[in-house]
Structures are given as structure tokens and as C-alpha cells.
Amino acid sequence: MRKKKTNKKRFRLFGRSKKTRKSDAPPVDVSALMRVLKTFIVFIILAGIGVGFYYLEEHVTQSNVAEIEPQLELMSVPAWVNQDLEQKVYAAATSYTNGLRVNEKAAQYVHKGLADNVKWLTDIRVQAAGNTIRVFAGWRRPVATIQLRRETFYVDRDLVLLDDVPLPEMHLPEIRGLDTGSLVPRPGLHLDRDALKASVHLLILLERMDRQLTPEQPLIAELKTVDVTNYDGRNRRDASHIILYAVDDTPIKWGAEPDRWQRHAEAPDKDKLAKLYGYYIEYGTLQTGAKHIDLRQPHGRIIRPGEDF
């Protein structure tokens, strides 16, 4: 007896069955394949061009940022500020701005550079406009120099220490005899010492008199030193508490601290100023060869040039 043939189909997961004939495979559409290939190639080319433009634009932007340097302007600079001090301020202002665009961020960095590195300015305001960064600030005008721990500082009318920058045109006297103890001085420090406060107060009085009476030839330019070694009579009660020295070392005995003349039965401060400036205007200088100039006596006269005491 014959076996009946069964109608079974065998499938392979990959490829064709050995019994499948080539004629059974569907024909390949070559033109469609070419269209897909061309579309893919065009896409690759466009993508490459886009990436190229992106990196080119980024490179140009970075180059422009590096080339643009903020133009800094210091506004309302006082006449006494010289080039050395201006350069110090410029250097501090641009210390954090390398490669920045001129914008509000750059203005913030300029403000930070000034606040961190320059104690000569107060009330700092920075504005960015166009290609310019403008700095508005108050300036601390020094009234004297001071030596602390073998280092030179300036001091302003608010008793703030300022770092040493050459200011030869100002002819500032030096304050000597201060007792600062173990204090470590630094720029920006408020040195609240009574002897320093009295010295600065006296120098401010002299500056005021110079503006009123001798603006063309200020008396203070002929002062070399304000000596407060005997401040408040700590060494000798009967000796002058404050002594001014002219540039030729002529001692000018001011006496007690400003506003304390009554405690020591001395001439009022206004009379001391009148004597001093009367002498200076009469002779045109403090360097007259006098042994000393004593301003303390209420009704006494000043030693004249060539007189002994």
C-alpha cells in the first residue's frame, strides 16, 4: 500500500529553503534603491555642512570675544589724582575682565576688581554702555603719610589707611609718634587712634586756612612732620603735646590737641591759627631760621627770625 503524500511547508528563520527556487523570490526594484541611496547621501552632505557652519560660527564668536576689550572710563577724577594712581585703579578694574564682552556681567567683574583691590575709592558704581564701561566713585584724598612696621601708608580724613602710591605733587607731611601696639596695618583699615585723630583734625584746619588765605602757596606744603610722641602729655605734661616741624626742622609748638586748649590754659585754636598764618604771610615762609615758633601762650608773641629764647 502506498503512503499518502502530506502537504507540509518547511520555513527557515533565515534564508530560503533548499527546495525554494530562485524564481520564487520577488524582483528587486533597482531604481527605488538608487533613490533611497541618493537621498541618504544628500542628507549626509547637508548634515556635514551644518556641523561645519556651527563650529565656524563658534570659532568666530570666540575670536570676537577675545578681541573685544572693555574700554574703561574713570568719571569725575579729582585733579590731585596722578597717572600712577590712575594706572593702579585701571589694573584693579580689569583684573577679572579678560576676554569678556562689554555687558552687565563685565560691569560686575569691574566692580569686584575695584572693591577687592583698591581702597582709594568709595561708593563705587559701574555702568556698561556700548563699548564702554564707566566707573563712578568717590576718591579718598590723603592728608598725611604714616610709617607703620616699616611700611609707608597714606591716611585720609576718615582715618582709613591707603597703600603707598607716589604722589609727589601733594607734599604731604608725615605723622610720627603713634602707638599702634600689635596692630597689623593693611590698606583699607580704619585706624581709630586718638593721636591720629588729633593730627588729622589739625591738618584739616590747616588745609582750610590754606584755601582761604594762601591758596597759591599753601603753608602745609612747608610742613615735614606732625609729631604726637607727647600726645596728651604722656611723656611730659608741661611740654607741647603736638609739635609741627617745617621742612628745615624748625619746631612749631602747637600745644594741646585741637579743641582742648582750655584744659591747659592755652590760646584758643583760632588764635593759634591766626598767629601761625600771620607769621607765614609776613615772611612768606616758615623757614626763617627761628629757634622755634610757639603758639601756646594766650597773649604771647612769636619768636622772630634771629631771636633766641
| Domain extents in the chain | 71-139, 142-294
On average, the pLDDT of the chain sits at 82
Task: Look at residue 64 in the predicted model and tell me its pLDDT.
Answer: 40
pLDDT value at 204 more than 80: yes
**Cα separation, 260 vs 232, whole angstroms:** 10
- SS3 letters for 201-259? HHHHHHHHHHHHHCCCCCHHHHEEEEECCCHHHCCCCCCCCEEEEECCCCEEEEECCCC
Q: What is the pLDDT of residues 184-201, one digit of tens each?
A: 899 999 999 999 999 999
The average pLDDT across 4-31 equals: 46
Percent of the chain scoring above 70 in pLDDT: 73
Averaged pLDDT for residues 146-174: 94
* C-alpha 151, offset from chain centre: 19
Contact 246, 216 (CB under 8 A): no
Average pLDDT over residues 214-236: 95
Residue pair 161/186 in contact by the 8 Å Cβ criterion: yes
Q: What is the pLDDT of residue 305?
A: 60
pTM for this prediction: 0.73
Average pLDDT over residues 66-89: 84
Q: Residue 205's closest CA among 139, 295, 297, 137?
A: 295
**71-139 CATH:** 3.10.20
